[in-house]
């Protein structure tokens, strides 16, 4: 059984900045604070992003404050997705359809999004019929470290599928951190330059497969 763990933002879809807008609105709604400090979102977990936002705005990085920020963000995400010019990235629907029809392939998620955020995004772009946000995977609800999210995704795949050899696992993502977390669990890494990093920048991490986009996934499918 081959296992494919997909990142979401910059890999499957581009939200047009909907997540960042929703975070700004959430800071205002939860704490009556205008978001003044920008945070690097690429390849990060939502929990890490939450910590950086709270601390950079003089708020305690407590679980209660994180819950307030997270809930306010999720309440606004669907609306900001509708307002922004997002899209499904090239080749994604075809690739997920082909993998879904392959009895020797299993599709999961390895994303920094909280699980509910992943569900909202995939549902908005009508990808939830092709990749189940309630299925197996790793999510950014509570962990700051992408590598530990990868370990959780592998454990979730094993719980769902039984024995899974990391050598049969592909992590597909658009940032150097996706490559790093694949290495951390002994998986293969497919880097796709549809997010914030160029082909050249991703090549520096030496992924097993490097693609400009997923429009021609023949190498990955092999």
Q: Taken in order 130, 115, 14, 4, is the CA torsion positive or negative?
A: negative
Q: Are residues 95 and 196 in the same domain?
A: yes
CATH of the domain at 154: 3.40.50.1000
According to the model, what pLDDT value does residue 38 have?
74
Q: Are residues 205 and 111 in the same domain?
A: yes
Banded pLDDT at 43 (limits 50, 70, 90): confident
Angle in degrees, CA 50, 48, 197, rounded to 5: 115
Asked which of 67, 83, 99 is the last residue of a domain, the reply is 83
Over 90: is that where the pLDDT of 171 sits?
yes
pLDDT in tens, 99-121: 999 999 999 999 999 999 999 99
For the chain, percent of residues with pLDDT exceeding 90: 91
Q: Are residues 23 and 123 in the same domain?
A: no
Query: Into how many domains does the chain fold?
Result: 2
Strand intervals (E) in 37-181: 87-88, 105-110, 137-138, 169-173
Q: What is the mean pLDDT of residues 39-59?
A: 91
Q: Are residues 50 and 123 in the same domain?
A: no
Q: Are residues 22 and 127 in the same domain?
A: no
> Among 42-51, 162-171, 173-182, 190-199, where is mean pLDDT lowest?
42-51
Q: Are residues 6 and 29 in the same domain?
A: no
Residue 9 is classified by DSSP as B
Domain range enclosing 190: 2-15+86-221
**Angstrom distances, CA of residue 207 to CA of 103, 105, 187, 210:** 26, 21, 11, 6
């Amino acid at each position: 059984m081959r296992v494919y763990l997909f990142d979401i933002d910059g890999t499957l879809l581009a939200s047009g900045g909907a997540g960042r807008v929703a975070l700004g609105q959430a800071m205002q709604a939860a704490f009556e604070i205008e978001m003044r400090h920008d945070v690097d979102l690429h390849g990060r977990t939502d929990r890490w992003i939450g910590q950086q936002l709270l601390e950079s705005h003089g708020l305690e990085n407590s679980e209660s404050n994180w819950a307030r920020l997270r809930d306010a963000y999720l309440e606004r995400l669907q609306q900001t997705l509708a307002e922004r010019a997002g899209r499904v990235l090239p080749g994604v629907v075809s690739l997920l359809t082909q993998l879904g029809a392959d009895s020797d392939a299993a599709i999961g998620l390895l994303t920094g999004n909280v699980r509910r955020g992943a569900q909202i995004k995939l549902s908005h772009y009508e990808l939830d019929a092709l990749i189940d946000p309630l299925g197996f995977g790793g999510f950014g609800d509570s962990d700051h470290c992408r590598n530990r999210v990868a370990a959780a995704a592998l454990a979730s795949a094993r719980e769902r599928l039984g024995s899974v050899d990391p050598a049969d696992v592909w992590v597909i993502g658009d940032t150097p951190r996706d490559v790093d977390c694949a290495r951390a669990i002994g998986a293969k890494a497919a880097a796709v330059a549809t997010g914030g990093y160029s082909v050249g920048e991703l090549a520096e991490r030496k992924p097993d497969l490097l693609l400009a986009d997923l429009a021609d996934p023949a190498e990955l499918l092999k």
